[in-house]
Amino acid sequence: MDWRNLSMCIHCNYYVELMLFSDTYKEIKSATKKIYKEKGSKFIAYAFTVYSEDEVKEKLEEIKRIEHSARHHCYAYILHSDKSAQRTNDDGEPSSTAGKPILGRILASDLTNILIIVVRYFGGIKLGVPGLIRSYKTVAADAITNATIITKTIKEYYEVRFKYPQMNDVMRLVKESDLEVVDTDLQIDCRLIFAVPKSKEEMVIETFKKNHELSIKFVKTI
């Protein structure tokens, strides 16, 4: 047996597991604003925490009202803990000179649920493609650097239904699994909602399902 190959496989599997079961993601804590100037042009970056495309539209409309005389309102955003929704917009700048550089800074910082809008006031001197890319990248990076970044845990929410005599069994499972109890309704027919980190989800749900007197269903992911 080639022990070097075995060692490499072990390390590869370890990193694959980390990627598959990572249950954290990063956001900015609050909105930030930064200004960058290049050859007379002024670039103003606004970074926001957003959770939906509707919020993105609202922020865009807000900045367009505030910066109504700007020539360009370019932006990029990423949504969801798995970063599954991403979009860029150059708003009249040459293709890929604004939105993509902004998105690149977001990806490099491993952030999600973030919208960065960069408005540009033209200063009379053309910057060229390299100058535009550099300017949009720089001001977006400055806005992120100016923000406080927080780490959140992806949580899966489940509802358990059970009869009152099963209460001790349910609470024991909750305690042993170190679950966060979100809501309870403890009458004759009881209901309990708990949150579990995604990395522990499968193990916890299998444990609950072993008790056939309990009914459990998925509620949502946050």
Q: Are 217 and 158 in contact (CB under 8 A)?
A: yes
Residue pLDDT, tens place only, 126-160: 999 999 999 999 999 999 999 999 999 999 999 99
Quickly tell me which residue has 């990395």 as its tokens.
Answer: 199
Tell me which fold the domain 25-151 belongs to: Ribosomal Protein S5; domain 2 (3.30.230)
**Alpha carbon distances (Å) from 184 to 40, 174, 193, 212:** 60, 12, 6, 20
Is CATH 3.30.43.10 the right assignment for the domain spanning 154-221?
A: no
Per cent of the chain over pLDDT 70 is 90
Residue pLDDT, tens place only, 154-163: 999 999 999 9
Residue 34 confidence (pLDDT) above 70: yes
| Helices and strands in the chain: count of H runs, count of E runs | 6, 11
> Any idea what DSSP says for residue 126?
-
Rounded Cα–Cα distance for residues 222 and 202 (Å) = 16
Rounded Cα–Cα distance for residues 39 and 35 (Å) = 13
- pTM of the full structure: 0.79
Rounded Cα–Cα distance for residues 189 and 4 (Å) = 58
* More confidently predicted of 20 and 164: 164
What local confidence, expressed as pLDDT, does residue 7 receive?
Answer: 41
Residue pLDDT, tens place only, 67-90: 999 999 999 999 998 899 999 999
Rounded Cα–Cα distance for residues 201 and 21 (Å) = 10
Per cent of the chain over pLDDT 90 is 84
The structural domains of the chain, with segments of one domain joined by +, span 25-151, 154-221
